[in-house]
Each structure stands twice: as C-alpha cells, then as structure tokens.
Amino acid sequence: MFRLISLFTLILLFTCNSLWADYENGEKIFKAKCSICHVGYISGEIIRENFYNKNNKLLHLKSPTVNMMAYSLKDSPLHVGEKDDPEMQKIEIEEFLKDFLYNPDIKNSICDPVILKYYDKKESMRGKVSEEEITQITDYLFEYQSKRQKSNSKKVLSSIDDVSLLLTQAKKENKIILIEAMSETCHFCKTMETNVFSKKDIQEKLDKYFIFVIVDIDKTKLPFGLDVTYKGFTPSFFMIDSQGKLKNKYPGSWTKEDFIEILNENK
C-alpha cells in the first residue's frame, strides 16, 4: 500500500513539475521572441479605460499585452477552439498559432475590432520562431491565467519592461509600488519567500494596496533611479509612489510581523 501511494505521489510530483517546466520554457521563449512587441501584464481595468475611454492615449499600445492574448485565445467572443474541452482547445490553439504566426492575415485576427484599429499590422514570423517553440509558447499562453493568479499578482521585472506602465497602474489603482531587490543566490530572500510572502494575510495586503515588483539585480537594473540609493543588500525593499518617487526603504530580511508593520506604514 505504502509503495503504491509513494509511486502515485512521485508521478503526481513529476507531472506537476513538468507542467511548470513547460510553462517556464514557454515564458522564456515568449520573452525572447514576442516581448519586443507584446508587453507583460496590465490589468483589464486599465486596458478597458485605455481603449474604450482614452482612444489608446493612456498606454499607446501597438499590439496586445500577454494577458490580452491569453484572453483572446481562450475566452473572448472570438476565442479559438472548443472552450469546454481544455485538452482539445490547447491543440487547436497551437494549430492556430502556427498558422497565424507564419501567415498572419487580418481576416484571421481574434482581436476585438474596436481595439484592432490601434494596432500595427502583424508580420510573418516564418524563420524567426520554430514549430517546437510555438508548441512551448502555447503552453505558456494556455496556462497564463491560472499560473499568474497563483503567483499573487507579483511581477518579476525584466530589462525590457516599460516601468512607466507601473506608474500608470499605480495611479489608476491607487497603489504603492513595492520593489524587492533580490538575487537567485540570496539565502534570506528564499527564507522570506517561505516565511513571509507565502502567507495568506501578507498576500492579501500586497494584492490590495501594492504592486509587488521583484528585481533580480544580477539580471536587471533597479528602476526609478534606485541604484543610486541601493547599498547592495539582498533583499532590500523600496516603496515608490505613483509619481515614481522613493517614499521609504527597508534594507535586509524581515520577519512576518515586522513586514506587516512595514506594509501598514506604507499602504
């Protein structure tokens, strides 16, 4: 009996892990091949405001954001494939993407026509992205919605992200931008991940009052001129208002109780 259970757990663990791996590989390829035009997550509320009330003058988008793409493909009125059969739909989306990316045609666009008029014309990616890469990108876009929600609206900044969009979001949602300077080798960053950021009450506070932005200082430059103030400790935390001004900084690792206080001081 014990053997059976542990085998089952192993298989489960293995499949979960490989699902995450597909998603992360897809994300990497997406960032390398698609992010020049398709920027990262912007909340639906801001996107609606931008297109339906501001004629795209707020965000000046020339192509859909990643969350718009995931929505267009899976759930929108013009979605691809069979919504009630996820396995089938994923295959249909993969086929659609192969065709659409190699032979883009405005007639096959799955975009809301009101929004489409603001976008550039899509060019063929033949020779720029392989079929195997499109398969992995499909994994990423297909799982985007559920995986992003799990990661608790926190955002890992990459060097190609446009930080002015963070300010627009902060203004609109009346939130403070909380920046964590971290690195993959930082032991105390991992401790805080386990003891602080994974806790439900912390996550709820973060979601409600903050835009939580993670910056891996080995890969990405700190935004908002913070590199001048930054003393090199990981983790370090910075509170930025919607004008892009530094309000407070908290170098070092914190317990859950201390961190709640920090959040309360700044919300």
Among 23, 26, 27, 34, binds ligand HEC (CB under 6 A): 34
Q: Which of residues 174-213 bind ligand HEC (CB under 6 A)?
A: none
What's the closest the beta carbon of residue 63 comes to ligand HEC, in angstroms? Answer: 3
- CA trace torsion 183, 185, 190, 192 (10° rounding): -50
Contact between 261 and ligand HEC by CB under 6 A: the answer reads: no
Amino acid symbol at 129:
V
Contact between 106 and ligand HEC by CB under 6 A: the answer reads: yes
Contact between 25 and ligand HEC by CB under 6 A: the answer reads: no
What's the closest the beta carbon of residue 173 comes to ligand HEC, in angstroms? Answer: 22
Please enumerate in sequence order all residues whose Cβ is within 8 A of that of 53, keeping only pairs 6 or more positions apart, or say none: none
Contact between 111 and ligand HEC by CB under 6 A: the answer reads: yes
What's the closest the beta carbon of residue 240 comes to ligand HEC, in angstroms? Answer: 30
Distance (Å, rounded) from C-alpha 43 to C-alpha 51?
A: 13
What's the closest the beta carbon of residue 34 comes to ligand HEC, in angstroms? Answer: 3
C-alpha angle 44-49-55 in degrees, rounded to nearest 5:
125
Q: Which residues of 73-112 are buried (b: 16+ CB within 10 A; e: fewer)?
A: bbeeeebbbeeeeeeebbebbbebbeebbeebeeeebbbb
Specify the stretch interacting with ligand HEC by CB under 6 A; choose among 44-52, 59-67, 149-157, 200-208: 59-67
Q: Which two tokens stand for residue 192?
A: 């805080």
What's the closest the beta carbon of residue 111 comes to ligand HEC, in angstroms? Answer: 3
Is the Cβ–Cβ distance between 54 and 103 less than 8 Å? no
Contact between 119 and ligand HEC by CB under 6 A: the answer reads: yes
Among 22, 24, 25, 38, binds ligand HEC (CB under 6 A): 38
Of 69 and 226, nearer to ligand HEC (C-beta) is 69
Of 159 and 185, nearer to ligand HEC (C-beta) is 159
Amino acid symbol at 8:
F
Contact between 148 and ligand HEC by CB under 6 A: the answer reads: no
Q: Which two tokens stand for residue 1?
A: 């009996």
CA nearest to 129, candidates 31, 63, 41, 256: 31
Contact between 160 and ligand HEC by CB under 6 A: the answer reads: no
Residue numbers at the binding site for ligand HEC (CB under 6 A): 33-34, 36-38, 62-64, 68-69, 72-73, 97, 101, 104, 106, 109-111, 119-120, 122-123, 125, 129, 137
